[in-house]
Amino acid sequence: MTKPYQIFILAHVLLWVFLSCNVRQQPTRDKTVVPVIEAHQGHKSTFPSYIQVSETIRIRDYFKFIDSLVVAYDSLTEYPLSEHLLIRANPWIIDVLENTDYYRMMQRDSFVYDQKQMVVLRPMDSLLMPDKTSADTLLQAFAKTYIDVNLPEFKLRIIEDSVVLYRFPIRVGQNRKRYLKMGDRITDLRTQGGKGQVIDFRRNPAFYNPVDGKRFYLTRRDDEKTTLMPQIPWIETEINGVRNGQLIHPTTNPKTLGKASSNGCIGVREADAWVIYYYAPIGTMVRIRYDLVVPDSHGGEEILKDIYGYGKSVD
């Protein structure tokens, strides 16, 4: 083989290697980039599909991450994608969030000072993006679900059609009036009954003492330990057409459940607050009643204590 011919062959080999490397080289993926299923030829992508998580997601960044998924995928789905629909299609995430409850962690001998640092999603976890049939089923379930609260029973129920899905213990407002700096007036602390709906959420609430109006960041738990306040959504309601600041939110002191001990809000356990939040998107009907006679566990009736002194059931 002549030397010029060898040079010619070598040059072509080097050119082929160069072109191959450039064709195969992929850009480095930034971990903060949300993986998106691309639509082809103007058609919607095929679902169900799975989204693989590429980084560790803690509670402090959880809502931002989920929001980014909703924004990225909403234009690709054949249904209105929302945070609530996505998480209900992945109920294991609700289980993970429930288990960030301080008292559940303490039962496992794990003291959590800052709940916001707890991990919700890990690399290689996968979230299901449902197909249209599954999504429509969830949307129909949302439309049939409502929150039922019976004040003297200290119970909050999540009901779909006529089926009770969950039954949670609650605390309610005190039976007295008190000056609250937050409203700058004497306020009736009794939780007000009636019918209404969920109108808003506070996913990263700021904490203020309604009595003196001062902001606080720490809480003393039932076991006398002090922690930072957790980041758990609060649910804002409108009852009888009035937005009176009456919220459904977690309490860091579950020993107050089953009592008239709040400043008007409905308090629930931390774990339960996550479930209520994901079963009650904006627009969910809320009924707060005052029924003194309720069914007992033996098929009979139980007469409850008249905590507000109404002397009768109030619808």
Q: Where are the domains of the chain?
A: 49-138, 145-303
Buried b (16+ CB within 10 A) or exposed e, 228-266: ebbbbbbbbbbbeeeebebbbbbbbebeebeebbbbbbb
Query: φ, ψ for residue 24 (rounded to 5)?
Result: -85, -20
Would the CA dihedral through 64, 66, 67, 69 be positive or negative? positive
Instruction: Examine the pLDDT at 13 and tell me if it is beyond 50.
Output: no
Residue pair 135/79 in contact (Cβ under 8 Å)? The answer is yes
Nearest to 287 by CA among 91, 80, 148, 143: 148
Residue pair 53/123 in contact (Cβ under 8 Å)? The answer is yes
User: What pLDDT shows up at residue 45?
Assistant: 67
For 153-179, how does the pLDDT look when each residue is reduced to its tens digit (9 = 90+)?
999 999 999 999 999 999 999 999 999
User: What pLDDT shows up at residue 20?
Assistant: 38
* Of the candidate ranges 144-148, 149-153, 184-188, the one whose mean pLDDT is the lowest: 184-188
User: What pLDDT shows up at residue 216?
Assistant: 96
The arithmetic mean of pLDDT across residues 4-23, rounded, is 42
* pTM across the whole model: 0.86
For 276-310, how does the pLDDT look when each residue is reduced to its tens digit (9 = 90+)?
999 999 999 999 999 999 999 888 999 999 999 99
For 84-102, how does the pLDDT look when each residue is reduced to its tens digit (9 = 90+)?
999 999 999 999 999 999 9
Q: For residue 121, how many other CB atoms are within 10 A of its CB?
A: 21
* Of the candidate ranges 26-35, 58-67, 252-261, the one whose mean pLDDT is the lowest: 26-35
For residue 19, the 8-state DSSP code is: H
Position 144 confidence tier, pLDDT thresholds 50, 70, 90: very high
CATH architecture of 145-303: Beta Barrel (2.40)
Beta bridge partners of 247: 236
